[in-house]
């Protein structure tokens, strides 16, 4: 069986190693916009990073990053953070996302940090904050709901529990 999110052994192994890079390698859109993760230098857990590539620009006059790209970055961060943070290996599937844009995202690196506010049996709520120069001056905040599925069970049409 090829390695992937539906491969239980692979998921358990990469999760035990906190190998987020192995997960990102299977997420082409995250690679295209330049998402990476590293241990949070200012705390526990992960700090995510979005590259300020030219292809991520949404306003050439300012210039500023595309708000939708910032949202995709924050969704990727929330998904991967959740996959590490759950009590047992689970596969999150997004239910909804709400994002508030607080400041213009300039063409410099953007960072994100996540908080798992609730992990239920079937649903999780994750909050994400994204910033550029200062964590205290976020460019956007988001909150997301995910359905948590057991890996190796259910195809894409399965509502996931």
Partner 1 sequence: MTPYPDRSPDAWRRALTRFVTVIPHTRELGLEVLEVTAERTLMRLPWCDDLLGDSARGLVHGGVLTMLLDTVCGSAVLRALPAPEVCPTLDLRIDHFRPAVAGVALHAEAHVVRVTESVVFTEGTLWQEAERPVARGIGNFVRLGPRNTPPGLAEALFAEEAPHA
Chain contacts with partner 1 (rule: CB under 8 A): 2-7, 26-33, 54-61, 66-69, 71-73, 75-76, 93-101, 104, 155-157
Residue 20 burial (CB count, 10 A): 22
* Nearest CB to partner 1, comparing residues 19 and 101: 101
Which of 2, 43 has the CB closer to partner 1?
2
* Closest of 74, 68, 69 to residue 126, by C-alpha: 74
Q: Smallest distance from the beta carbon of 42 to partner 1, in angstroms?
A: 25
Q: Which two tokens stand for residue 154?
A: 């259910």
Nearer to partner 1, 41 or 155 (CB): 155
Smallest separation (angstroms) from partner 1 to the CB of 139: 12
CB of 9 to partner 1, least distance (A): 13
Q: At 57, list the tokens.
A: 């620009």
Cβ nearer to partner 1, comparing 116 with 147 = 147
Q: From the CB of 4, what's the least distance to partner 1, in Å?
A: 3
**DSSP secondary structure string for all residues of 2-42:** --STT-HHHHHHHHHTT-HHHHHTT-HHHHHHTEEEEE-TT
Q: How many residues does the chain have?
A: 161
CA 36 distance to own-chain centroid: 10
56/129 with CB nearer partner 1: 56
Q: How far is the CB of 140 from partner 1 (least distance, A)?
A: 9
End-to-end Cα separation, the chain, in angstroms: 23
Task: Measure the CA–CA gap between 53 and 134, rounded to whole angstroms.
Answer: 20
């Amino acid at each position: 069986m090829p390695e992937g999110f539906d491969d239980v052994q692979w998921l358990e192994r990469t999760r035990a190693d906190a190998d987020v890079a192995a997960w990102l390698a299977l997420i082409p859109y995250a690679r295209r916009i330049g998402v990476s993760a590293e241990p949070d230098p200012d705390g526990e857990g992960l700090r995510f990073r979005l590259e300020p590539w030219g292809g991520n620009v949404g306003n050439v006059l300012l210039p500023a990053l595309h708000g939708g790209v910032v949202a995709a970055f924050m969704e990727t961060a929330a998904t991967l953070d959740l996959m590490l943070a759950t009590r047992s290996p689970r596969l999150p599937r997004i239910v909804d996302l709400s994002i508030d844009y607080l400041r213009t995202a300039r063409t410099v690196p953007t960072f994100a940090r996540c908080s798992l506010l609730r992990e239920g049996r079937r649903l999780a709520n994750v909050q994400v904050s994204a910033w550029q120069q200062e964590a205290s001056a976020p460019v956007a905040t988001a909150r997301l709901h995910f359905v948590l599925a057991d890996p190796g069970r259910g195809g894409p049409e399965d509502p996931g529990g």
